[in-house]
């Protein structure tokens, strides 16, 4: 009889352990790609990792390329092992085998986040430009596709000649919502104030925007285009789920990095990354989200308890 009790006790302990494991949701697997950039990638890729990990929604791996001009032949991340790939890369072309693996991943229904200057990359790679929809700099011009901006309640495609990609002086600015039902933005304020950041403008590309989420009005007085520019959107690219966020210019250190310390940037990054990974967003709207008149910062990149 004592033996039976012992067996039952072991069974109940095993059951308890199993049910505890099952109750905890699986974290999504994210890969941050970095290693070269005309930006401070040494800080930005670690901050992206921190934001994603601290949300407790993602397990993050990092894939760094060789330095600029270095031997890229060993850069072969296994994209297929991840729910979502976050691009923080603007540099030398990858090996042809890695390009092909990335396209296989994306075209097979993968999730991609295009973060800030990742949309400067690979101006001469046609398929990559369809994955980002809009890009800038690195020789882009009217051959890259039209300019694309918001005017009189709709997106305008403008074939005018000229360079692709510029921005005025950094400043705080108000984001203007253009959609209220997409999972990434559902429940978020239409207008909210972003912390000091660049505002990309005059971007060009195939302009295959899926859902336009937020625009911003550039300031011609500080060198901006004077147009209402698309800044946050999804990309229409087959079965893939692609989230493109032009915000988040990285500061000199993790502690002096207002654009990435903005609670609005972090919220969009987390919601957009979850959507790119799963097609859904289960996160609540955080209580520290910025308002139309008040910037909200998370210096430690951690969301408050709900």
Rounded-to-integer distance, Cα 244 and Cα 175, Å: 15
- In the bound state with Zn ion, the residue whose beta carbon lies nearer, of 140 and 249, is 249
**DSSP 8-state code for residue 24:** S
- In the bound state with Zn ion, the residue whose beta carbon lies nearer, of 54 and 170, is 170
Instruction: Give the pairing type, strands 111-115 and 171-177.
Output: unpaired
Structural tokens at position 272: 């957009």
**DSSP 8-state code for residue 220:** G
Tokens 């890729």: give the residue: 45
Report the number of secondary-structure helices (H) and strands (E) in the chain: 6, 13
Nearest approach in angstroms of CB 138 to Zn ion is: 13
Quote the longest CA-to-CA distance of the chain. Answer: 88
- In the bound state with Zn ion, the residue whose beta carbon lies nearer, of 44 and 55, is 44
Nearest approach in angstroms of CB 250 to Zn ion is: 7
Binding site for Zn ion (CB under 5 A): 198, 249
Exposed/middle/buried for 304, CB within 10 Å: 0-12, 13-18, 19+?
exposed
Do residues 231 and 277 lie in contact, with contact meaning Cβ atoms separated by under 8 Å? no
Q: Which residue is nearest to Zn ion (CB)?
A: 249
Rounded-to-integer distance, Cα 174 and Cα 120, Å: 23
Rounded-to-integer distance, Cα 150 and Cα 230, Å: 7
- In the bound state with Zn ion, the residue whose beta carbon lies nearer, of 49 and 198, is 198
Nearest approach in angstroms of CB 117 to Zn ion is: 5
- In the bound state with Zn ion, the residue whose beta carbon lies nearer, of 246 and 303, is 246
Nearest approach in angstroms of CB 115 to Zn ion is: 10
- In the bound state with Zn ion, the residue whose beta carbon lies nearer, of 130 and 249, is 249
Where are the strands (E) in 3-87, listed by range? 28-34, 58-64, 84-87
Nearest approach in angstroms of CB 168 to Zn ion is: 12
Nearest approach in angstroms of CB 279 to Zn ion is: 29
């Amino acid at each position: 009889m004592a033996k039976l009790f012992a067996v039952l006790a072991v069974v109940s302990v095993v059951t308890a352990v199993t049910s505890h494991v099952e109750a905890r949701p699986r974290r999504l697997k994210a890969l941050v790609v970095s290693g070269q950039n005309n930006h401070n990638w040494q800080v930005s890729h670690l901050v992206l990792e921190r934001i994603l990990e601290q949300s407790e929604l993602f397990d993050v791996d990092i894939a760094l390329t060789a330095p600029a001009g270095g031997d890229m032949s060993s850069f072969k991340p296994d994209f297929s092992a991840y729910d979502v790939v976050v691009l923080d890369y603007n540099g030398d072309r990858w090996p042809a085998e890695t390009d092909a693996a990335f396209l296989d991943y994306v075209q097979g229904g993968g999730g991609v986040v295009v973060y800030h200057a990742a949309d400067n990359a690979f101006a001469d790679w046609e398929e990559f430009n369809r994955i980002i929809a809009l890009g800038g700099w690195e020789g882009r011009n009217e051959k890259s596709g039209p300019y694309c901006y918001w005017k009189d309640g709709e997106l305008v495609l403008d074939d005018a000649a000229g360079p692709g990609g510029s921005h005025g002086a950094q400043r705080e600015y108000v984001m203007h919502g253009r959609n209220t039902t997409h999972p990434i933005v559902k429940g978020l304020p239409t207008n909210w104030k972003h912390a000091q950041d660049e505002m990309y403008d005059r971007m060009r590309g195939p302009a295959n925007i899926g859902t336009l989420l937020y625009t911003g009005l550039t300031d011609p007085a500080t060198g901006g285009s004077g147009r209402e520019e698309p800044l946050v959107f999804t990309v229409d690219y087959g079965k893939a789920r692609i989230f493109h966020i032009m915000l988040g210019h990285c500061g000199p250190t993790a502690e002096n990095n207002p654009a990435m310390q903005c609670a609005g940037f972090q919220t969009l990054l987390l919601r957009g990354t979850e959507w790119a990974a799963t097609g859904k967003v289960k996160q609540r709207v955080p209580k520290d989200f910025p308002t139309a008149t008040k910037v909200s910062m998370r210096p430690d990149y951690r969301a408050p308890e709900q």
